[in-house]
């Protein structure tokens, strides 16, 4: 389970609880986190950075991050049970293009 917790205006933290109920903070460079999503049968976590327009995938087993969007500004719409990742291209004001 991944949780997005608001700590102040435009600042969020992500916490992960595993099957043993061990909860820990997931450290990332971004604080202005938009939408989040997870694959239900894999420990893969997704989020978008509102400031940069990048979408990241976190591997919860290995602990690695990677940017998954093409060049440009994007926002995460969500993920579904078939592991389809939905994103939208946005402008500087986060309006969909």
Relative to beta strand 65-67, strand 2-8 is: unpaired
- Neighbouring C-beta atoms of residue 39, cutoff 10 Å: 17
**53 belongs to a structural domain:** yes
Q: What pLDDT sits at residue 61?
A: 85
Q: How many domains would you assign to the chain? A: 1
Per-residue pLDDT of the chain (97 residues; tens, 9 = 90+): 899 999 999 899 999 998 899 999 988 878 899 999 999 899 999 999 999 999 999 998 888 899 999 999 999 999 999 999 999 999 999 899 9
Assigned domain for 48 exists: yes
* Residue-range definition of the domain harbouring residue 10: 2-89
How many of the other CB atoms lie within 10 Å of CB of 68?
14
pLDDT of residue 29: 79
Asked whether residue 96 is domain-assigned, the answer is no
54 domain residue, yes or no: yes
Q: Give the distance, in angstroms, between the CA of residue 33 and the centroid of all CA atoms in the same chain.
A: 7
Using only the alpha carbons of the chain, give its radius of gyration: 13
Distance CA 59, CA 66 (A): 9
In a domain, 83, yes or no: yes
Q: How far apart are CA 44 and CA 80, in angstroms?
A: 12
Is 27 within a domain? yes
């Amino acid at each position: 389970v991944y949780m997005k917790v608001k700590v102040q205006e435009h600042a969020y933290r992500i916490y992960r609880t595993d099957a043993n109920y061990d909860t820990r903070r997931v450290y990332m460079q971004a604080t202005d986190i938009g939408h989040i999503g997870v694959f239900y049968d894999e420990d893969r976590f997704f989020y978008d950075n509102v400031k940069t327009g990048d979408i990241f995938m976190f591997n919860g087993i290995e602990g690695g991050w990677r940017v998954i969007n093409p060049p440009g500004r994007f926002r995460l719409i969500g993920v579904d049970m078939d592991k389809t990742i939905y994103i939208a291209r946005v402008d500087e004001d986060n309006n969909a293009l």
